[in-house]
Amino acid sequence: MSKVGIMSMQRLANYGSFLQAYALKQLIEKLGHNVEFVDYHIGAPAIVENADNRNKYLRKIEKGLETFRYKAPLPHKLEFIQYKQSFGKKYTSMLGVTEEMNYNPELDCLVIGSDEVFNCIQKNSNVGYSPELFGKDNRAKKLITYAASFGNTTLEKLDRYGKKDEITEFLKRFDAISVRDTNSGSIVECLTGQTPVYHLDPVLMYDYIHCCNKIPEVTISEKYLILYAYSGRISDQESDWITAYAKKNKLKVYAIGGIQKCADKFIDCTPFEVLAYFKNAEEIITDTFHGSIFSVITHRRFITLVRKSEGSSYGNEEKLTDLLIRLGLEERCTCDIEQVEKIMQYTINYKDVDQILVQCRKEAFEYLQMELTKS
């Protein structure tokens, strides 16, 4: 029985990061390996202009103050602060992660991924630029990735910020590379001359609905719509439209993952309860990668709002359209909130989606089985 390490975003206070980490661990343990999570040192951001270089305690205070600037009911703001501050203490132990950091252990294999582990050109000081996420100085006998993503990092950004040569050398040291999206695959192919394999996010690959016994039953008397988006990303115009739409359809608006102006409730729950809330929702509106995935695995009607990148501003268009195209669900995304009502009326053929997932799960399982067993 080999010793396998996973290096991912397992300590982030984020439902998607938690559930993808848990899923990958389950997949690897199913193959008969001992699994532990491996930590990395957070480096300085690659983008130094306008980067937040204050220490983590000052950043936490600023994050708390930032919450009060969002347009949302005051009780929701207070609940959100509590949710963020307690997330790690309440939930990371469910992954087998302790408060003590696990840096650079001796392993038979180190698996880097999934999530945006390669998203190295950014100004977020909570992540920064960490060569360890590219396998630097690891003590594993073998180094691979699973569904790794460069996120919004592009070849042009790697070149502009002077990281292209270094990343090229890191990538060439991997024994096998699996990516989750076209942008990441293109970068790997361009820098190494090798074509990586493509695999879907672990949340899609691990059959949560049929295999996870941690998802509770939730009984809710009222009908509701889930708005799954980060705080501050839903515009006033979008929020007002959602309020009117929910009222018209006699739905309450439950905000999960962030606080929203239009929400009737902010839901603070465990990562596994998130899936229970999704299972019971009438509809979902999201602008996140994992919000879309949660909708798919629970077979809900959903809409994904896509954002175009403009300058240094956040953009999710590439990764969300890539995901939905792979699932045959590209018609579920829009950049216009006014189109939500029309698209929501379209029926989703989840039988076809599930057939795609069956094949993708087989390919993912075979990849992990092969790479974790051969020396």
CA distance 232 to 225: 19
Amino acid at 253: V
pLDDT value of position 310: 63
Question: For residue 47, what pLDDT band results from cuts at 50, 70 and 90?
Answer: confident
Question: For residue 128, what pLDDT band results from cuts at 50, 70 and 90?
Answer: confident
Q: What is the mean pLDDT of residues 264-279?
A: 98
Alpha-carbon 218 to chain mean position: 24
Residue 257 has pLDDT above 60, yes or no: yes
Question: For residue 65, what pLDDT band results from cuts at 50, 70 and 90?
Answer: confident
Phi-psi region of 113 (alpha: psi -120 to 50; beta: other; left: phi over 0): left
Query: What residues form DSSP beta bridges with 333?
Result: 304
Residue 10 has pLDDT above 60, yes or no: yes
Residue 313 has pLDDT above 80, yes or no: no
- The tens digit of pLDDT for each residue in 181-205 reads 999 999 999 999 999 999 999 999 9
Residue with the two structure tokens 């954002």:
307
Which domains, from first to last, does the chain contain? 3-50+94-207+357-373 (3.40.50), 56-89 (no CATH), 212-353 (3.40.50.2000)
Show the tokens assigned to 54.
């204050």
Contact 163, 154 (CB under 8 A): no
Show the tokens assigned to 164.
């292209």
pLDDT value of position 56: 62
Question: For residue 58, what pLDDT band results from cuts at 50, 70 and 90?
Answer: low
Residue 53 has pLDDT above 80, yes or no: no
Cα Rg, the chain, nearest whole Å: 20
Q: pTM to 2 decimals?
A: 0.94
345-370 burial, b for 16+ CB within 10 Å, e for fewer? Answer: eeebeeeebeeebeebbeebeebbee
Residue with the two structure tokens 């991912």:
8
Residue with the two structure tokens 């439902």:
15
- The tens digit of pLDDT for each residue in 349-374 reads 999 999 999 999 999 999 999 999 98
Contact 347, 375 (CB under 8 A): no
pLDDT value of position 243: 98
